[in-house]
Structure 1
Amino acid sequence: MLGNVFQKFSGGCMMVFRRQGEVVQFLGTAFLVHEEGYLLSVSHILPEEGQLMVVPGEVGSEFAPISQETVTSIPVKVVRRSLERDIALLKMDQHIGIRMPDHFIGTATSSLIGNSVMALGFAFGHQALHNLVAMNAVVSAKVISNNQTRILLFDSMIHHGDRGGPLVSVEDGLIIGIINGRFDPQEASKEYTDGRNTVETNTNISYAVAIDYGVDLMEKEGLKPH
């Protein structure tokens, strides 16, 4: 079942880069959500300056080089952002033939605590390693953040390159979240405590923003989610 989830979504996950002058910098992960070349990612990895581009990774389950000497880049632009929810909708600047699976976007409300999920992202892109990495986890908690954002906690330690990738429900094979970062309990609790009685915590818990906010951005752009 896990392998089927990976095969379904691996082709739609892409590396995000910024070109500024002669410098090309890896930023994180994005994933396709519409056949007209739209992708979702997290806003905080996408700077306002420089040319953004996405690069497809190697598709399939065969052994592949950990770094690619040449890549095919596709220019993209940010068409909508939600700074409050920390997500962004991107669009490819050129038309390419894209085939999307039917019914692949779910809702975070349907996932139960304890359900299996798969996190997908280019975990080590900042180290110039271009492999898509799949991580198995479970939904550890469903919480509302300080700014009233619905987030999913899951028990896998994501890396910086995973940010912007999809969190997929293994049970039904639907995307339920957009991977954002590692969960910081001290940051989350700062409005409720003065810090004197808190204990510093190293945790392997990460979090994803509910995909429902990404669907909202798509609908504002006039797109019908699958």
Structure 2
Amino acid sequence: MLNTRWMALALCFFLMGLSSQGVFAQLPDFTGLVERNSAAVVNISTSQKVNATEPQLPDGIEIPEGTPFDDFFRRFFGEGGGGQPSEVKSLGSGFIVSEDGYVLTNHHVVKDADEIVVRLQDRRELVAKVVGSDKRSDIALLKIDANHLPVVKMGSADKLKVGEWVLAIGSPFGFDHSVTAGIVSAKGRSLPSDNYVPFIQTDVAINPGNSGGPLFNLDGEVVGVNSQIYSRTGGFMGLSFAIPIEVAMQVVEQLKTQGRVSRGWLGVQVQDVTRELAESFGMKKPQGALVSRVLEKSPAEAAGIQVGDVIIEFNGQEVNDSPSLPPMVGMAKVGETATIKVIRHGSTRELKVKIGSLPEDEGTMLGSEEAPGARTFDRLGLSVSNLTAEQREQMEIPRHGVLVQAVNPGPAYDAGIRRGDVILRIQDQVIKDVNHFNEVVKSLPKGKSIAVLVQRRGGSSFLALKLKD
């Protein structure tokens, strides 16, 4: 009996050992990948003369005083001298995309630089010129005077899978050719300041100085350009974002050939479909991009796209939510005809739209003023008024709509309606004036989600309002 127990115990340890070996055997070995690709990764240093009294750090990076890296950053980025001109230096990364000296990096790495120096792995330092730079995608293309340079191999971000291993090479804090690894955390991420880039999210350690460097898959192919981190301290916190290489190379090609980037444009503002809004539109589940505004004389208006349409497909690609639509449209060729599927009044329609060119300035600043004639509707808790001619001109609202003068506690406040909003539409009813608004509000059903379209500070969005039983 004793021997049998010892044999069983020995067998158990043996199996555990095999299992452990199997786990370790699955861990990737990055050494060959790094050896093959490090020479194509470069350090980029820039200098700029500014009148400043504070250290100039890269956009979006703040280093609290008293941290271990405080002195380090001040030494690298410079410190002002009573308003006198000073030279500010910054660091970044990049990688060589052609043997004749084209280098890809981030726009924010070289923005406003007076001099850009590219340092190769063999310690050569070459002054670079900017071929072109695109703020919206955060991509810049540089050129150095050299030939027969090592280059990276391009891969595909589309083929990446969440959970897949990836590796970054760059110069965090100026430490050249630092290597970090992690996994793909998510794909198609949309950030507030970058609507036209479907970012790759990873947990690869990225820090200031890594910007512009390559993100590799296990085959040694570049799948992304490391661009941003989410951080409350300025350092790595587990959330890093890379620009898909397909997006980056499309930008590079346009910068090479025409010096600027053209993007597709529909001329709509969109928002997510919440559970309450889906109910109000008679949809079975939240999906797609809800059109909250159609700009005048835009491709969308010409194609017959309407406010309240839910875009669920663009050129055969499924639109799961509102952030996924702008990158699809942005990468479409200007002048081509795209097919769009929308849900309108509970049924699916297919529309053809000729893609326009994205204007340089999309934003419109709006304001609101007090106006006489306000009237309170106890049912919603709103006080509204008709818009004056001056207000309509200022807010670019040619007709229809009422201005919210005050909001009391109630259904409207709970829905997010605030003073200064312009109510343009309730469900399928375009609000003409205060009298029409009053009639529509009186007929609203209880206990059912109601879609209310409001305009606020230049943007339009639907809010879901529900009257209590």
Normalising by structure 1, we get a TM-score of 0.75
Give SS of 1:110's match. Answer: coil
User: Unaligned stretches of 5+ in structure 2?
Assistant: 1-28, 50-85, 258-469
Partner of 1:16, secondary structure, is strand
Q: What's the offset of the Cα at 1:157?
A: 2.9
Cα shift at 1:150: 1.2
Residues 17 and 154 from structure 1, CA distance in 2 versus in 1: closer, same or farther, beyond 3 angstroms? Answer: same
* Change in CA separation of 1:157 and 1:216 when aligned onto 2, cut-off 3 Å: same
Q: Match for 2:213: what amino acid?
A: G
Contact 2:37 2:220 in 1 (8 A): no
Counterpart selection for 2:95 from 26, 31, 34: 31
What SS does the corresponding residue of 2:97 show, helix, strand or coil?
A: strand
Q: Select 1:95's aligned residue among 134, 146, 151.
A: 146
Q: Any runs of at least 4 consecutive aligned residues in structure 1 with deviations exceeding 3 A, and if so which?
A: 19-24
**1:173 equivalent among 220, 225, 231:** 220
**Cα deviation per residue 1:22-58 (whole Å; 9 max; x = unaligned)?**
9572420011111110111111121224111101136
Contact 1:80 1:217 in 2 (8 A): no
* Distance verdict in 2 for CA 1:24–1:84, change over 3 Å: closer
- Native 8 Å contact 2:47 2:113 kept in 1: no
Match of 2:116 in 1: 52
RMSD: 2.3
Rounded Cα–Cα distance in structure 2 between residues aligned with 1:209 and 1:100 = 19
Q: Please report how far the alpha carbon of residue 20 of structure 1 lies from its aligned counterpart in structure 2 after TM superposition.
A: 4.6
Contact 2:181 2:205 in 1 (8 A): no
* 8 Å contact kept, 1:27–1:46: no
Superposed counterparts of 1:1-226, under 5 Å: 1-20=29-48, 23=87, 25-57=89-121, 71-92=123-144, 94-100=145-151, 104-125=153-174, 130-145=175-190, 146=192, 147-170=195-218, 172-183=219-230, 203-220=237-254, 221=256
How many equivalent pairs are there?
Answer: 186
Structure having the higher Rg: 2
Question: Any conservation in 1 of the 2:46–2:115 contact (CA below 8 Å)?
Answer: yes
User: 1:18 & 1:203 partners in 2: Cα distance?
Assistant: 26
Native 8 Å contact 2:166 2:204 kept in 1: no
Distance 1:181 1:36, change over 3 A: same
Q: C-alpha distance in 2, partners of 1:48/1:120?
A: 25
Instruction: Please list the CA deviations of residues 1-37 of structure 1 after superposition, one character each: whole Å capped at 9, or x if unmatched.
Output: 4111111210011111124579572420011111110
Task: Give distance in 2, aligned partners of 1:48 and 1:180.
Answer: 17
Identity of aligned residues (%): 27
Shift of 1:148: 3.2
Q: 1:49 to 1:138 in 2, by over 3 A?
A: closer
C-alpha distance in 2 between matches for 1:32 and 1:116: 22
Report 1 or 2 for greater relative contact order, CA contacts < 8 Å, sequence distance ≥ 6: 1
Distance 1:19 1:85 in 2: 23
| Structure 2 equivalent of residue 199 of structure 1 | none
Richer in helix (by share): 2
